[in-house]
Amino acid sequence: MAGAKIGAKTKIWSGVYTDSFDQLVIGDDVTIGKNVILIASGGVSIGNRSMIGHGSQIISEGHIIPPNRGPMRFSGPDPAPVIIENDVWVAAHVVILPGVRVGQGAVVAAGAVVTKDVPPFAVVGGVPARTIRVRT
């Protein structure tokens, strides 16, 4: 992970894949589970004390959808940073799509697909992810 900024006491399990190391920032005391995919070309930031569950995918870049039914293959990248704030739990097999911010203290339930920002201390789940409740 040469070029990535990784904080102290961070644990990265085996099988983690990432690209664009220079666009990856991981805080202190973070755990990243087995077989996590971090597509960091649009920028990925993971806050302190956050947990990323096994098999999750954080994707910060997609493809431009060209106008006028243009060809998709060479339409180009559409980067948008993913920001995971402090003390977040992203459970197993979650997908977080480009441009999403997950607020401090939030919980993302296993298998969720996160397409929009998650408010601080919200518990979200489903496809697409929706707020289930707010932590008190």
Tell me how far apart the alpha carbons of residues 105 and 126 are, in angstroms, rounded to a whole number. Answer: 18
Tell me the CB-side half-sphere exposure of residue 6, using CA atoms within 13 A. Answer: 12
Please tell me which residue in 11, 63, 133, 135 is annotated as part of the active site: 63
93 part of the active site: no
Tell me how far apart the alpha carbons of residues 120 and 77 are, in angstroms, rounded to a whole number. Answer: 29
Query: Could you give the 3-state DSSP secondary structure of residue 77?
Result: strand
Of 31, 8, 45, which Cα lies nearest the Cα of 91?
A: 31
Residues noted as catalytic = 63
